[in-house]
Amino acid sequence: MNEDIIKTKVNYLVMFKRLWPYTRKHPWIFISVILIILVLTGISRFIPFVIGYAIDKGIIAKDISVFKMMALVYLALEIARTILHFSQTYMFQVLGNRVLYYLREDL
């Protein structure tokens, strides 16, 4: 009964080292995914600033032109975030499928 239990110690570093040779075959996809994640993080951190600026300079100061401009900036950021999120998901899946293909090829 104890023969069925396989004890392995796999953490993220071990898994990354095992998968890196396969991932390394597509460096541009990997680098693109990392860069998109960094840009998405920056956009997500910038959105509260835009909302705060719209409230402080637009609503409280009763300047509708600033409020409209910040609404357009917010819309542009959300559109960019949606497109980048789709791109990141798609490219990461492509990379994952290619890594799986190479793994199956080696087995």
Burial class (CB in 10 A: 0-12, 13-18, 19+), 10: exposed
3-state per-residue secondary structure call for 2-39: HHHCCCCCCCHHHHHHHHHHHHCCCHHHHHHHHHHHHH
What is the mean pLDDT of the segment spanning 10-22? 86
pLDDT digits (tens, 9 = 90+) for 57-102: 888 888 899 999 999 999 999 999 999 999 999 999 999 999 999 9
